[in-house]
Amino acid sequence: MKGTTHSPALLNFLDERSLKDASLVFRVDAVSRVRRLADIPELWQMAPRASAGDLQSAGWFEDVMAFLEGDTAP
């Protein structure tokens, strides 16, 4: 499946294999970056406790990418 979403419901619909094949597009210091979800070990540590859609709704992806990429902007 190819597509773009901001929908937590769609993320919750995906199985683990599909999530690992998905990519996250985010910005750090006004530069767009892409990271495969499979390459974010913190996600798989959280996955048993929270769904990807719940994490997206809570802003977790933005927070963890800012932390991992060393973003210090307010």
Nearest to residue 10, comparing CAs of 49, 33, 19?
19
Q: Is the pTM of this model over 0.85?
A: no
Phi, psi of 35 (to 5 degrees): -140, 135
Residue 74 pLDDT exceeds 50: no
CA distance 35 to 19: 12
Please write the tens of the pLDDT for every residue from 1-56.
455 567 888 888 888 888 889 888 888 778 888 999 888 888 888 766 788 888 88
Kindly write down the DSSP assignment for every residue of 3-58, as one continuous string: -----HHHHHHS-HHHHHH-EEEEEETTEEEEEEGGG-HHHHHHTTTS-HHHHHHT
Q: Where are the domains of the chain?
A: 42-74
Q: What's the confidence (pLDDT) of residue 16?
A: 83
